[in-house]
Amino acid sequence: MKVVEKLNAYVNENDIKQIYIAQKTGLDEDTVSDMLNGNRQILADEFLMICIALDIDPNIFRNNSHKSLNCT
């Protein structure tokens, strides 16, 4: 499942309105709708703005099947 699909599922499961996300992030409501419906690619900074606005850790949307990067 793609990150945007996981984000959309989270929004739906928690009954979060797109207008709320738009107001909290400053993004246009149509843009939020297009992103969550898969009609527009979500940029990394937009994704982080949404996570901050919803007070959620972006890592909850990670795909656990990927190995983490070792930056040592």
Does residue 63 surpass a pLDDT of 80? no
- 3-58 belongs to which CATH class? mainly alpha
Does residue 66 surpass a pLDDT of 80? no
> pLDDT tens digits, residue range 10-57?
999 999 999 999 999 999 999 999 999 999 999 999 999 999 999 999
Q: What is the pTM of this model?
A: 0.80
Query: What is d(CA 60, CA 5) in angstroms, rounded to the nearest whole number?
Result: 13
Paired tokens of 57: 């850790």
Paired tokens of 25: 């992030």
For the chain, which residues make up each domain, given as ranges? 3-58
